[in-house]
Amino acid sequence: MLGLDLTIRDNDIVDVMGSLYVKNPVALERLLTELRKEGYVIENLRNAEYRKSDNVSVEEMEKNGWSLWFAKLPDIRYGLCGSCQQLISVSGIRTHAHKCEKCGAVTYYELIEGSTLTFVFNNDGETGFFTPQLRMKVKMWDIENGNLCLYPEFLEGGLSVVTGKRAEDYLKRNKGKWSYGLIGGEKMIIIKYDFQWDRRTAMIEPYDSNGHVWNHKIVKVWDGKQYDDFDHLPVPESISIYESWHWTPLPVTSDLHTRILRAAGQTDDQGWHYQDGSPWFKPGHWKEMAKFVRHFTQLNADAFDLAWPTFRSDGPGGIADLAHFCHPGAVVRNDPNIGNVIFGLGKAFEGRRLTEQEIKAAKHGLEDPLVKRIFLSRKD
């Protein structure tokens, strides 16, 4: 199970989407012992700080089916220096001009001559979705004196990046945060940009940058073998563990589909999904839900196995079909979502036809509180 040599007796441990559901205390003790032998560190979430700070009782965690244990491998991530090919600490490895502790070679440059930086001035009166952004080419970053030198030209970029007169006006509005200077006889814009960036005191807030120089990569080392950072190990790096005997079997209620979707790592909100009929649910999703249904609910599991291949694959449709299989009076969540407004407008601007469902979701999305915050905070 999960690539691990675990002892399973009469399905007393069930994996759903990489999490382990344990059916009795004896199975739990056996599981934790075997995981520790495999090298996992086990955390008892009953003692977790977030539970205490949120004032959540242990009884509530048990009743509502929260994860009560968390198993994770110890820190297995290292840096691999591109110069000496030795394993080094990842601490600070992606900090500008950081040096390898083994050979002294620089592992990373964030900004060099020719890099581009997109930023806004750190001005609380102008922050927001529509705040102008500047994209400029870097001449040099003088980290000793905390000065960032930029070529005085505005590059084109994303939706909020401005050029021409709008960029000039934005500079003028923030004239106390930058100055002109000469670098090698060339006129440059100089901005105070300390190596130890702090939003409370920084002149600018960076959005993104391009042109980094990498002299390292991140690797994982497990069981004597080296893996790339995004490779999957033969075993999971972390496992959430549930004590299902506190709440199983789940009765057939109007919101049972929410628990089933959550177990499969899915939202129960139709508004979160694309509204154009794009496929979302795959057979693998339904098969994981089927395991949860069979072991932890009072639903007819055989009937579910026959039914789910007929469910719609798009997000809103799949949620509705699952919900109404679980209970004829199921209450399906469909919250307003600004994403549906943005996608609908974008599609309309491109001259593409919107489906009836997309139009309805876009109108509904205007009720999203985020829409009001964005437009009310806009300052032209």
Model pLDDT for residues 57-73, shown as the tens digit of each residue? 999 999 999 999 999 99
The answer to whether residues 135 and 116 touch, using CB atoms and an 8 Å cutoff, is: yes
Tokens standing for 35?
A: 């995981």
- What DSSP state is assigned to residue 29? H
Amino acid at 106: V
Using only C-alpha atoms, the chain has a radius of gyration, in whole angstroms, of 27
Res. 380 pLDDT band, cuts 50 70 90 = very low
Question: What is the overall mean pLDDT for the chain?
Answer: 92
What's the mean pLDDT in 201-215?
A: 92
The answer to whether residues 78 and 221 touch, using CB atoms and an 8 Å cutoff, is: yes
* d(C-alpha 275, C-alpha 109), whole Å: 42
In the predicted model, is pLDDT for residue 265 greater than 50?
Answer: yes
Residue 241: phi and psi, rounded to 5, are: -125, 130
The answer to whether residues 329 and 301 touch, using CB atoms and an 8 Å cutoff, is: no
Listed in sequence order, the DSSP H helices in 298-337 are 301-307, 315-326
- pLDDT for res 124: 57
Could you tell me if residue 185 is left (phi over 0), alpha (psi between -120 and 50 degrees) or otherwise beta?
A: left
The answer to whether residues 16 and 291 touch, using CB atoms and an 8 Å cutoff, is: yes
Within 258-325, strands assigned E span: none
The answer to whether residues 116 and 138 touch, using CB atoms and an 8 Å cutoff, is: yes
Q: Which of 12-16, 326-330, 368-372 has the lowest mean pLDDT?
A: 368-372
Domain assignments of the chain as residue spans, ordered by start: 77-108+215-228, 111-211, 338-376
- pLDDT for res 122: 87
**pTM: predicted TM-score of the whole model, two decimal places:** 0.77
CA distances for 312 relative to 4, 238, 320, 357, 358, angstroms: 34, 32, 9, 15, 17
Q: Which residue has the higher pLDDT, 250 or 351?
A: 250
Res. 376 pLDDT band, cuts 50 70 90 = low
In the predicted model, is pLDDT for residue 234 greater than 90?
Answer: yes
How much of the chain exceeds pLDDT 70, in percent? Answer: 96
* 1: Cα separation from own chain's centroid: 27
Amino acid at 210: N
Q: Which residues contact 139 (CB under 8 A, 6 or more apart)?
A: 113, 149, 150, 151, 183, 186, 188
Task: For residue 371, give the nearest of 333, 339, 347, 334 by alpha carbon.
Answer: 339
pLDDT in tens, 326-353: 999 999 999 999 889 888 888 888 889 8
In the predicted model, is pLDDT for residue 378 greater than 90?
Answer: no
- pLDDT for res 373: 72
pLDDT in tens, 124-172: 555 555 678 999 999 999 988 899 999 999 999 877 899 999 999 999 9
